[in-house]
Every structure is written in structure tokens, then in C-alpha cells.
Structure 1
Amino acid sequence: MYQITSEGYRLRVSKEELVQKEAQEQAKLVHAMADPWNALLNASLNGDKKSEDPVYQYLQNIADDFVEDLISQPGLELARETITFDPDEDRIEKLMEERPLIREISLITPEWIRNVYRGLLRAFRNQIRTYDGSVKKFLNEHDPKLNPAESIFFHLVEHDGSEYPFAFLATYAKKEEDRSIRHVPLHYILKEYAGNQTKILELLSCLNRAADISSLISSLMVSGELFHPLGLEANEAYEFLKKVPELEKTGIVCRIPNWWRKKSRSVSLSIKVGETKSSLLGMDSLLKVRPSLAVDGQKLTKAEIQQILESSESLHFIKGKWIEADPKKLEQLIALMETVPEEMSLKEALRIQGGLSADEGDERFNISNGKWLASLKEKLTRPAILRNVALPAALKAQLRPYQKEGYNWLNSLSAMRFGALLADDMGLGKTLQTLAWLDKEYQNDPEKRALLIVPASLIGNWQNETAHFTPDLGIYVLHGKQSIERYWNIPKNERPFITITTYQTASKLAFLREETWDFLILDEAQAIKNPLAKQTQAVKKIQACMRLAMTGTPIENDLINLWSIFDFLNPGLLGSRKEFQEFAKNEADHTAKLQHMISPFLLRRLKTDRKIIADLPDKLEQTDRIVLSRKQTLLYNEVVNALEKSLSEDKEGIGRQGNILSALMKLKQICNHPDQYTGEHTFSEKDSGKFEMLREICSAIEENRECVLVFTQFREMTDALDQELEKIFHARGYVIHGGTPLKKRQEIVEKFNAQNTYIPYVVLSLKAAGTELNLTAASHVIHFDRWWNPAVENQATDRAYRIGQTKNVVVHKFVCTHTIEEKIDQLIMNKQALADRIITATAASWLTSLSNEELLENMRITG
């Protein structure tokens, strides 16, 4: 429901979805859609955390940080609706690191975060402008724990050239006639409010709480020195600084040096890796290690270390800055430094930085990148600054700017022998970028060989694309008994540059694992998302110097999908499966570290990012709620009643699970059309709510002479839909299913896109035609029935919504109301919202795990 946009965020809820909510939840959603910034601010003020949506969770994190910054603003009580502030750089850095792994992650920039702050600030101003009461009362009505900044401020600054190295001053905020806020020394309170003892006590009441916390403040109050500027010794300043967090909880704002608030103020063991270029290539490259004791990245000399060891003070002025140093801790770090190895592999360094190292002692030191490694990582994570590699002269294509960046990126990773994940959104030309890179590798060394593994349905597409864009590249199709037998008769040095095969074939041919390929490429690499599948394990055993995975959906269900792909690309980088599962349990804490580890080896651009491609129109999605016909209702109830009876007889075990899944399939068939369930072949329009909706939508499409793709998961429905659509359009379209030969599919694609004569529709079975078919003549997509996985549906939609599309694409998703289809639809929406989080249950296991009563309640017609 929540979606990141370039300006902020939006909430999308249909009327049908609202009807299903309780009254209180309905009111919240209506309010949130009407005024999203007010809704987000109030959710944070009220401590409302009831959402598993990763986008909304992240928005709430920002709102929580905003409120924290708001209540610490000087003179908030006086400024009220005129208050203004932006997040500081430390806050922005923190929020950038917390970005969730979602499709729209590239839209979350520092400027985007500032925009969110501005939206929340406008919401606060509007609310406080009409509020008849103090800011403190306003905040406490939401949450009694929210304490806005008092008028009293403590300032501690460094004071050079004095026996007192720190200066301390207590002030209070005063509103001037021009409405500006000015800080004046505390003793002015006594003058300004002379004779008004009540007001003086009100303003100074927080000082009593501060005195209970800090002995320094207590002594200054007793002596009266608190009301005047004064100097502090280093130890006095240190005692004050240690109490700052507690003092700020009383509402007193403490203005202190930035170095104290940063963790880098203390001495740590710093290890710099990769100062100079490694002589080896790949993840096992050995990098020189330089250990040192440092503060904020600056190395301490032996003399400075000795100075700290000999001192009894806790604050030391070294390298032009004050640092906190405990001599005992320093001695421990010196001993630890002796255990640091002279060399470390790149993989090990990245694992330590990401928190995935098996050695718990690694947490005791800070590892940073040397000059060469830092430069390399920056280039790989920012392809725009990579060295421009000339395109092959034989390439028959013009690359878009972002495609050229992808081409440069692939060349760089290939030269370093790093595994690469090209995860561009569907339709952005991953195939073309890969072919351009392979053509360059071929021009550099024609003796090298590449193995390309793809789904069977994509063999023809790769053959055509290769012949069209890179005619110099030879390609051999290793698929089928005869092609395998012929392959043996071709001398190795005469084999074509590219050998293409399927996942199923690759998992069976042992000889593919007996040689080391120069390049191993997986298209639709989500095929190895399950690390326990035999197919995945077989593919991972194939040896290669450089590996590339291509997929627009690197995370279909959970983070283990991503782990499995990286286990293929750069084995060991993300640890073992068990280590990674443990690491990913607390995903919120580890998202930034995970991104840091994989970002050099992953390139993902989105169609929705206008900076990437500005000439692609919008995709408009809607769910069409459909009422069952009378015949559908009767059959539906019969199946549910039969299931209820069978469950009472077989309460557990495989029999129960089989009965549930069988009933589920029957119900989905009935929701499509009763004849699909009964086996009849009339497929009368009046007997199916979906057929009636299909006519309503497609009649409008026919009037505008537009084209539509209709997807179904049932092959047996394709002919019935074909016949119905022919009646509506008064013209014949095409059908593509698992039995359609690859050559025929390509002919259909070419004729449909050419539209030399009006071809109004293509009916497609979802699994057979969900990938790599470019059907951009269509500006409408209809999902006649729903699939378990939103990523599969999105792949299908992207047959029309891709490069070359010039019109807005309207996507219709059919759902029968008050039926199991609505439950599936809700599951799909939840799964889409959690697509980048851990999801442990499939739709089928979700149903079979319910109790009999819960199961029947979900399956019965409601309403």
C-alpha cells in the first residue's frame, strides 16, 4: 500500500480494500490518503508501530528522528509555527544507511530525506498554529514522554590558549520583538523577571533536576557561578560530558563539541586494507594489512600513545582535537594489534566490514579501505565514474547512457574476476548490455569461451538477439540429445564463443563441470534462488573465471534468494547459509551492512526512476472486484461443504493436505468459469462474472483500437479465453502456452508488435510466457486469475511495460469478491509489501497450516 515516490511517498488503497477494514482502521487510512504527512507525524507522536510494510516502517523511522530533532530545537515553545530546521548531515547519513532493500531504493537520496522532513515540518506547523496551548502540552497529549527543549541551554566549547581549555555558559532562549530567538546569559532572567518570582522559578525549575544528575552543575548552582561564563579544566569538562545524555532527558539542550557525540572520539584499533593494488584477482585477492591505533581515522604516533599511557586524565588534546582515552583500554588494544595478520583476503575484509565474520574478536577493531581499494569500490558502486570502455566495432546497437554505464561496469568486474549481479528492472536491456560486454571480451581474446544457462523459453530470444546485435559471436545451442552428441565432435578450439543451454540440461551434463569456463552467465538467475534444490547445487559446481547472474527479481520471496545468487557469484562473501540466516534475523540492523557488502557487485536500475529512462510512460494498476454468478456460487459452496466433510474424516497428515490443495484448485477453477471445473465446453458468458468483466473492459479497448495481453495460470483456459475475446473484438488474436513452439512464439511477437493488421490480443499462460517476450503493442494487461507470487505477475506485466512502449499501460487484476481469491489477493499484497524482507510461508503452506475452522472460514463465501 505504501510506495516511495521521487517527492516523498503515497498510500494507495482501493474502495474495496477500505470496506474490508474495521471502522477505526478505515478512518486512519482515509485520513492518511487525504493528508499523508499529518498521518505520518501523528503515527510517530502516538507511538503507532503497527505495520510490517518495510516502506512504512522506514517512513516511521524518519518521522521518529524528525520528532527527536523537533523537541530539541532551541526556543521551540517560543517559535511554535515559525520553527524551521533541516536534518543535519549525521542524521542524513544514518537514514541513508537504514534504507530498506526495496525496489525504489534508488529514489531515497539525501534530498529525498530533506523533503520528508519538510513535509513533516509543514504538518507540525499546521497543527500547532491552531492549537490553544503550549507546545509541551500538545506533545504530552500525544505521548507524556515527549519533553520539548526547555528555555535553558548549557554550552560547552573548546577554549584555546588558556589554563582552562573549555568554556562553559548557561543561557536561556528569549523571543525578540522581531520574533527571532536569541540566547542570553542565564543571569538576565533575574533582571528581566525581577519581582516575578513565580516566573523565575518556572524557568529555572529544570536546573534542580540537572543538579540531581550532575555534581558539577550542583556545585555551580550552590556557588552562583552557573549564572556567569566560566572556564573548566579538562577533568571538569569530562565529568559534564559524561552526564549529557541524562541532562538532555530533563529538557535542557546541551550544545557540546561534535567530536564528543561521535563514536570516533575514542582510540580504536584501525586496520587499513588495500592501500596498494593486489597482484591477484578475484575475491581471494590478498591485500596488505596496516594496523594502527587511531582516532577518527588519524594514526597515533608512539609519543602520543606514551603520553596517554603516562597520564591519569581521561581527556587528551592530541592532533588538534580532544579525545577520550582510558590507559587500561589502550594497553588492551596494543596487545590486540600484535595479533593482526600481515595480509587479508578481500572477501575476509568485506565480511568483517559487514559484520559477517566468524571471529567475534573482529568486532574489536575498525577496518577501513586503503587508497586503492577505496577507489575501486567507489567506481564499482558509481558506474558513471568508471573508465569509458570503447564499444566493439561490430556491435549493431546504440546503447542508452545507463546501458553504457552497465557495459563499463561489467568490463570492470570481469577484469577483476569478480562475480556480478546485473539486476536491472525488466525491460531495461540486460541482454543487450551483456552481449555488448561479451562481444568486447571476444574481440580481446577469441580463444575464450562462455557458457550461458537460460530457461528453455529464452533460447530463441538469445539466438535472435545475438544474431541481431553481435553477429560476430558464434552461439551453439546445447539442448536435446542430438545437439549434445554433435557437441562432442567439435574440437574445443573450434567451438563457438557462446554455448547456450538450459538449467535442466546443465544440471544433468557432468562434462560441463569438468572444465573451467572463462565466463558463466545465468539469465533469469532466480532459477537458483532455492539453495537446497538439486538444480541450484548442480549449477554452482560449474567452474568459471568470471560469473554473471541476470535477473530483474533478485529477491522473490526472502533474503535467502539473494544469498543463493551471491553464493554462486562470489562464494563465501555472505558466509554459509546458516551464518547468513542468523545474520538476517535482525534485518533492520544489518540492512546497511548487507548493502555495503554487495553494492560493488550488484547493479540495479528501475524503470520508475526518471533519471535512468525518461521516455517510458506510467503503469496504472487496479484490482477489479467481481461478483460470482449464481451457478458459480452453487458450485463453490458444494466444494467447500465437501471439504468440510472430508476434513472431519481425515483430520491430519498427507490426506488432509491433499484434500485442501485439491479443493483450492477447484475453487479457483470455479471462480474463472464453472465449465473449467465441470469439464463442459460451452463457456457461456452469463455463467462467469469474470467473463462479463472481460467483455466490459475489452469492449472499451476494442472501441479505441488498442491491444491487450490476457494472462491465466491454466493452460486449459487459453482456448476458452481466445474464443471469448474473438467474439468481443470481432477479430482473432494469438495464444501462447507451454505447447507453443519457440519459433512460433517469435513469429507471434513480431506480428503482434508490427500490427500491420489489427491484432487485438494475445492470451498467454503465465508460466510459459512470463519472461523475455517483448509485446509492447499492448497497452493493457489483464491477469484473469492470480498467481501466488507477485514477482511472477510483475514479470508478466512487463511483457508490455518495457522499453519501446510509448503509451501508458493499464493493468487489471481480476478477483472474485468474498471468496478464497480475495484471501489470495491479500496474501499477494502482503508479499509484495514484504518482498525485500523474510517471508517463510508460501501460499499453499499458509492454507494447510490453518486449523479446520480457520481454513473453512477463509474458503467460505463471505458477505
Structure 2
Amino acid sequence: MFGDLRGKSLFEALPDALNDPGYWGVATTTALALVARGRIVPSVTADGHDTWRIGPLDHADELHLRQLAAHGDYDELRAYLDAVADVLPRGGAEGPFAAAEPRHVPELQAWADEQIKLSLRIETTDDLRFRAIVQVRAITDPHPRDVRGSGRELDAIRAIGRSTWPPLHRLLDQADLTDDEVAELLTTDIEVHWPKNLTTSLSAKAVIGEPGGRFSAGDLLTFDWQLALGDDVLTEAEMDVIAEASRPVIRLRDQWVLVDPALRRKARQQLKPITAVQAVTAALTGTAVIDGEHVDVVPHSLTAAITTVPEFPQPAALRATLRDYQLHGLRWLAHMTGLGLGACLADDMGLGKTITLIALHLHRDHEHPTLVVCPASLLGNWEREIQRFAPGTPVTRYHGPQRTLADHGVVLTTYGTMRLDAETLKNHAWGIVVADEAQHVKNPHSGTAKALRSIPAAARVALSGTPVENSLSELWSVLDWTTPGLLGTHRAFRTRWPEPDDTLTKVVRPFLLRRRKSDPGVAPELPAKTETDRFVSLTTEQAALYEALTRDTLDRIAASDGMARRGLVLKLLTGLKQICNHPSHFLGHSSLQGTSGKLDLLDELLATIVAEDGSALIFTQYVGMARLLEQHIEQPTRFLHGGTPIPQREQMVDDFQQGRAPVFLLSLKAAGTGLNLTRADHVIHFDRWWNPAVEDQATDRAYRIGQTRPVQVHKLVTEGTVEERIAALLQDKRDLADAVLHGGETAFTDLTDAELAELVQLRST
């Protein structure tokens, strides 16, 4: 930037910088804003001449500069801001400040060294006119003194006044203040000591009008200013007095009150009505943005209207007795959907979200059908659960080549069919639209998510055991579907909440009900669950392949960059995991050839499990590995993957649950959610997904309501390999794993060459 200024003064270059849409344009605008707010301090140059520098900066200012400096050099940015701060007071007739030639002001050296702070003491006359006495004090001295110094000290103060508050220059000779100057002092950064007979405790909040009983998401609610003197709310008549005041001081409730011009404007300003969803967000956070200003909000009874869940008995037609937490879930869903606000039931897998939703359907009026959108593997489960718990309720599968819609009962469809037939579905009247396993629409830009958003309904309900698998953006996507506008736009949400905080929790809590199996009073009848990392050694063949692939690929990675490098990293990690599974998996054999530590352990586990009349689920993320295992396992086995037709899936589940096949091989992505496989008392993760939430969902196919036996979870890990390093991270740093490893292998593509080598190199055991 400084190189661009050759041949012209900095002041002459400022217009060009302001017109720059990039980094230096933002820097110039920032400098002007800081100077306008008085964020400049006197200092001296190395040769003793007076100069101005940016400061002091509060935390928000410093954070803004650090963020801006991420696009450049921080020291260079500060030097530029200081240059702008120094040139503006001397900008000449064309500048925003009075003309001031650079001159030698030795007194500024003392001000800079001693950190002198300037303030004003205000006095009032009998007729309530104002006078200002200029005071100074060292920052370490709490007692200011009136300015009675030498001419040089006055010169320093006048120099300060030219950049902070121009009337300060005059007050050294003439102390009387105009009403306009008094009003300016109410908003300036100058330290002001007001007389004790005046109060500045007038404040304003935005108040949301009471909804007047029940309301719905489409209602418009009043939004007005409420002024208060201390803790006492002003009447409409008193607000009229403030609005009509011609001076910055008025007599109110037997005391003199200083009135900020901005507060006077609010006393007469009529705010536009806001939607119920906007009002809910403001009420729950306690703040709102009005004309670019963050203001406190008085919610009246709106918060209570949302959070107070009425009690009622479960539907008489429900052929089951809801557990206490399920009955609360039903009441909560009925309350939220009755308001038209939508909700996400995010209970742990296996706690009965399906039966709770069936009860909700029975509780609501049946003027329009309920649409349930779910993964294809869950169509049969939904149909059986409805027939079991709500006999007589019509159920229609909107799936397959001859699909037709129904005008009553429950309509079941898949995400794929919903995406294809969005035009048909959005022109049908729905009472509730339910998104089961709602993490399928966690990407708001996907075709599936856009299709789901296009289907209108009186209310929307998301069901998900993991509403946040990878990032807060997934939470936004789910809740913006159930209750559009609750969290603002996606861009605004990411800016406001890069990380979760208490305010976000306040907003989300009424719209997301989350219960875990470990919570007191939730599913106390569930038996114990034991998770064990089962360590095995690589065979000689595996170790040779592992070292050869590591050595060759690390050399290629070191010689590449960009997308090519990322691709090589992913290829390396995938290859190493396949070698850890079995050499034949990596080499692409059609049958198992050679040996594998994992395979030997699996054989031992299955032999013991079946001998003890147990059943096992085996999860792998690789369909190819599952096919090899299917050929190898001697016990009766079923294999479910993404390409398995729905009727065949349902038959496989029935075979396993009825004990006709004690071993169930499952593709993690195709069968990690939704299925009820409580026959299993053992869960084996043959390879690791590197995402705890995904693995927990898979385990919960067995560890859910209906399970009567303790569940043993076996996680197979090869010693000395990348698997062991990741297993340790998942075990010892679970919170970090949730934050960093959510992307699986892709989380490691940005590691340096040295970090990557440390992660994958084979170590002796």
C-alpha cells in the first residue's frame, strides 16, 4: 500500500483507498471509524515531533484488527492506521478536521509517557445552563485536576481537541456549552463528570407485544420501544414528554434527566411488526438488531408461551404405554407443532422416537395426512410400527413404480422418491411432514434438502439421534427446515456462531429435545453396554504391504501439492485401512488369500458368540470387505448393503431377529441408522469410521429399547498403525475428535508432510 503512495501525500491517497473494495479499502474505512470515535492518542516521533496514533483499543476493536490482519501483515496494518490517524487532523481545508500544520509540541512527550487522560467536569447554572471545565489526570491517578497549566499544555489539549471533539478547543477559553454540544457529550467517548443533580440512567429496550394467548408462526407481533428511568418503566405520557423535549435535559419524576438524542428519537419511533419466529428468537436471546444497533429485548409472556408445555394423556388409540420421557416428548411435539414452530426430536437411537411420532399423529386432528420421509431401509419398520401401535391407521407406501398418494392416514416415502417427486408432493395438503434420520438433509444446498424444503405443511418435525455430526451448520440446516428463519440466514448464523455458546443454547433449547440413554430416568431398564478396543498385530504380509505403500506414497505426496496432494493423502489412508483389514481387500482379490490379524480375531469371536447362543452385528465401511467376509464366515450370515432391495432387507432383518441367522454383516452407511436389531448382544466394528457419532449410531442398532441382554461392543484395531493412533485420539480426546475428526479421512489432508508421516508410519509393538 505504501508503495502506491509515492508522489502524493497520504491524505491525497485516501480517496483512492476508500474506493478500493479490497483489503486497503476496508483498512481505510476502519481507520476513519476509529478516528471518528476518538480512538486516537497523542504521541511523538523519533525526532520529537507530535504525532497521532490509533488507541486505546477495546477488545472488540482489537479483535476486528486481528481478523482484518489475517489478510495482511498486522504491523503494516497498524502503521497504516497510525498514518491515517495522524494525517486527518492536518488534512487542510479539504479534510474533515480543521487545518493544523505539523509542529513541535514537546508537551505531547509527557502525555505519551505518563498516559495523561483528559476529561470534562460539567456544572449547571441556576437557569440550568451548562458549563464545562477541562480536566486532566494521569491514568494511574483517580483524581483529575482542572487545567491551569502553561501555554504548551494548552497547545497539547487543543491538538487533542482537533481530533477528538472540536468544541474542546473553544472550552479552554469559553466554558459555556450549547444544548447541541451537551447532546454530543452524551454520545462521545470523552470522559464526562456530570453534576449529581442530573441523572443519565434513562435507557431503552425493545418490547415484544403479548401474543394474546396462543399464536402461530405466521402471526405478526407488535415491536415497540420501552423507555425506563433506572428500573422504572415510563408511561406513554412520559415518553411523549421526552419525544417533544427541545433541550437535552428535562424534568421527569421530580428529577432532572439528561436525554440522549438517540433515546429521544426512540420515544417517538414506530417499529415495524415482526413475525412470530423473529419475535421468538429475540425473546430467547434477549437481544435484537434494530437499524444496525444491538438492543435489549423485553419478551413479556412470549418466552413462557413457548416453553410452557401443557399436560394431557396419551391418545386412547395408541396400543402401548408411553414411558414418562416419551409422554413428555409427545406433549412437547404437540405444543410446538400446534404453534406452527416445528421441532427436532433428537433422542438417542433406540429411545422410541418412532412411537412418539405415531402418538403425535394420533393426537392431532386428521384433516390432512402425515408424510414421513425416511431412508429406504426404514420403510418396513415404520409400516410395522404403525400397524402395531396404531392399528386401524391407514398406511401408504409412496414408493416403487406404481406409487399413488393417499388423502388420509400416514404416507411413507424415501428421500430418493421425495427428491424425484417433489412437485407432486408439494401440491398435496399435509398436516405434518416428518424427516426421519434428518441428518440426510444436513447439507442445505443438496438436491434432497431443497426438495424437502419445497413441501409445505402445517408443521414440520425432524427426527435424528445426531443432529450435529460434523458442524454447527448441520444444526442450522435441520432447524431452518423445521422453523424457517429461527437462526437467520446461513451466512449470518456462521458469522454469529462460529462456536456454540450460551446464547445459541437459549435459542435452540425450546426447539430441540435431546435425551440420552444415560440420563436419569431414561430407559433405566436397558442392560449394561461394554465397549472394548481389541488390538491385533499385523501379519508379516500385512506389515510388508503397509510399509511399502507408506514409503511410496509419502514420497509422491512430498512432490505434489493442491488437489493432487489431497487425493494422494486420501488414497494412502484408504489403502492403509484396507491393508489393516486384510491383504486381499487391498489387492482386490475376489476371495480371501493370505492372513490377517483382524480375521483371526473375528473367527475366534464368532465361534465363542455362536457357541453361547449369542448373535453379532459386524459393521464395515467397505462393501468389498463385507463380501469377502460373507464368503469366509461359516455361521449362517446375512449381508445388508446400500444396493439391497427393500423386501430383501426386511426379510434379512426378520431372519436375524428370529434367530435364523446369528451373524449380520452390515455396510455402515447403509445400515448404521434406523434398524431394530435387538437380537444382537455383540457388535463388532471390523474397521473404524473415525467419527464417534457414526459408530455410536451403528452400535445403537442393538443397544436400544427392547434389548434385554448386556451388549458387548468390539472395536478391532491393528497395533502400531494409523488405526491405533486414531483409536487413542478417539479414546483420550473425545471432545477434540468430535471437533476435528468429523470429516473422517478428509480431516487429515491438510497435515504437513512431517505430521502425516508421524500419523501413518508403522511402529514396532
TM-superposition CA deviations, 1:553-605 (whole Å, max 9, x none): 010101000001111111111111110010012x36xx222122222222111
TM-superposition CA deviations, 1:256-281 (whole Å, max 9, x none): xxxxxxxxx95532333242426752
Q: Secondary structure at the match of 1:532?
A: coil
The 1:349–1:801 alpha-carbon spacing in structure 2 relative to 1, beyond 3 Å, is same
Find the counterpart in structure 1 of residue 357 from structure 2.
Answer: 434
Contact residue 279 and residue 285 of structure 1 kept, 8 A: no
Letter in 1 for 2:513: L
Contact residue 819 and residue 859 of structure 1 kept, 8 A: yes
Find the counterpart in structure 2 of residue 418 from structure 1.
Answer: 341
Letter in 2 for 1:742: I
Find the counterpart in structure 1 of residue 219 from structure 2.
Answer: 285
TM-superposition CA deviations, 1:236-274 (whole Å, max 9, x none): xxxxxxxxxxxxxxxxxxxxxxxxxxxxx9553233324
Deviation at 1:471, TM superposition (A): 2.5
| C-alpha separation in 2, matches of 1:576 and 1:798 | 34
Find the counterpart in structure 2 of residue 461 from structure 1.
Answer: 381
Structure 2: stretches of 5+ with no match in the other structure: 1-139, 145-199
Letter in 2 for 1:458: L
Find the counterpart in structure 2 of residue 683 from structure 1.
Answer: 592
For 1:148-297, list aligned pairs within 5 A: 267-277=202-212, 281-282=216-217, 284-289=218-223, 291-294=225-228
Higher helix share: 1
Match of 2:572 among 663, 666, 678: 663
Letter in 2 for 1:599: R
Q: Secondary structure at the match of 1:396?
A: coil
TM-superposition CA deviations, 1:88-141 (whole Å, max 9, x none): xxxxxxxxxxxxxxxxxxxxxxxxxxxxxxxxxxxxxxxxxxxxxxxxxxxxxx
For 1:546-565, list aligned pairs within 5 A: 546-565=459-478
TM-superposition CA deviations, 1:24-57 (whole Å, max 9, x none): xxxxxxxxxxxxxxxxxxxxxxxxxxxxxxxxxx
Q: Secondary structure at the match of 2:430?
A: strand
TM-superposition CA deviations, 1:210-240 (whole Å, max 9, x none): x97689xxxxxxxxxxxxxxxxxxxxxxxxx
What is the aligned-residue RMSD (CA, Å)? 3.8
TM-superposition CA deviations, 1:418-448 (whole Å, max 9, x none): 111111111111111111111233xx33x41
Q: Secondary structure at the match of 2:561?
A: coil
Match of 1:338 among 245, 263, 268: 268
Match of 1:784 among 679, 686, 689: 686
| C-alpha separation in 2, matches of 1:654 and 1:549 | 36
Find the counterpart in structure 2 of residue 220 from structure 1.
Answer: none
The 1:836–1:848 alpha-carbon spacing in structure 2 relative to 1, beyond 3 Å, is closer
| C-alpha separation in 1, matches of 2:625 and 2:518 | 33
Find the counterpart in structure 2 of residue 530 from structure 1.
Answer: 443
Find the counterpart in structure 2 of residue 820 from structure 1.
Answer: 722
| C-alpha separation in 2, matches of 1:355 and 1:272 | 10
| C-alpha separation in 2, matches of 1:540 and 1:276 | 27
| C-alpha separation in 1, matches of 2:248 and 2:269 | 27
Letter in 1 for 2:207: K
| C-alpha separation in 2, matches of 1:311 and 1:627 | 85
The 1:326–1:802 alpha-carbon spacing in structure 2 relative to 1, beyond 3 Å, is farther
Find the counterpart in structure 1 of residue 706 from structure 2.
Answer: 804
The percent identity for this pair of structures is 36
The 1:273–1:762 alpha-carbon spacing in structure 2 relative to 1, beyond 3 Å, is same
| C-alpha separation in 1, matches of 2:227 and 2:564 | 66
TM-superposition CA deviations, 1:37-89 (whole Å, max 9, x none): xxxxxxxxxxxxxxxxxxxxxxxxxxxxxxxxxxxxxxxxxxxxxxxxxxxxx
| C-alpha separation in 1, matches of 2:391 and 2:753 | 61
Find the counterpart in structure 2 of residue 374 from structure 1.
Answer: 303
| C-alpha separation in 1, matches of 2:728 and 2:447 | 32
Q: Secondary structure at the match of 1:547?
A: strand
- Scaled by the length of structure 2, the TM-score of the pair is 0.67
Letter in 2 for 1:449: P
| C-alpha separation in 2, matches of 1:785 and 1:266 | 64
The alignment status of 1:860 with 2:761, answered yes or no, reads: yes
| C-alpha separation in 1, matches of 2:269 and 2:745 | 52
Match of 2:646 among 731, 734, 742: 742
The 1:326–1:618 alpha-carbon spacing in structure 2 relative to 1, beyond 3 Å, is farther
Find the counterpart in structure 2 of residue 351 from structure 1.
Answer: 281
Q: Secondary structure at the match of 2:486?
A: coil
Contact residue 370 and residue 411 of structure 2 kept, 8 A: yes
The 1:674–1:532 alpha-carbon spacing in structure 2 relative to 1, beyond 3 Å, is same
Contact residue 356 and residue 583 of structure 1 kept, 8 A: no
| C-alpha separation in 2, matches of 1:397 and 1:311 | 71
| C-alpha separation in 2, matches of 1:399 and 1:841 | 35
Aligned residues: 569
Q: Secondary structure at the match of 1:367?
A: strand
Letter in 1 for 2:351: L
Structure 1: stretches of 5+ with no match in the other structure: 1-210, 216-264, 319-324
| C-alpha separation in 1, matches of 2:253 and 2:728 | 60
Deviation at 1:288, TM superposition (A): 3.3
For 1:723-742, list aligned pairs within 5 A: 725-726=633-634, 731-742=635-646
Q: Secondary structure at the match of 1:468?
A: helix
Q: Which moved more, 1:286-295 or 1:504-513?
A: 286-295
The 1:653–1:781 alpha-carbon spacing in structure 2 relative to 1, beyond 3 Å, is same
For 1:300-315, list aligned pairs within 5 A: 300-301=234-235
Deviation at 1:539, TM superposition (A): 1.7
Q: Secondary structure at the match of 2:458?
A: strand
| C-alpha separation in 2, matches of 1:286 and 1:548 | 23
Q: Secondary structure at the match of 2:671?
A: coil
Give the structure, 1 or 2, with the largest relative contact order (CA under 8 Å, sep 6 or more).
Answer: 1
The 1:851–1:375 alpha-carbon spacing in structure 2 relative to 1, beyond 3 Å, is closer
Find the counterpart in structure 1 of residue 548 from structure 2.
Answer: 638
The alignment status of 1:394 with 2:317, answered yes or no, reads: yes
The 1:317–1:691 alpha-carbon spacing in structure 2 relative to 1, beyond 3 Å, is farther
Find the counterpart in structure 1 of residue 112 from structure 2.
Answer: none
The 1:687–1:268 alpha-carbon spacing in structure 2 relative to 1, beyond 3 Å, is same
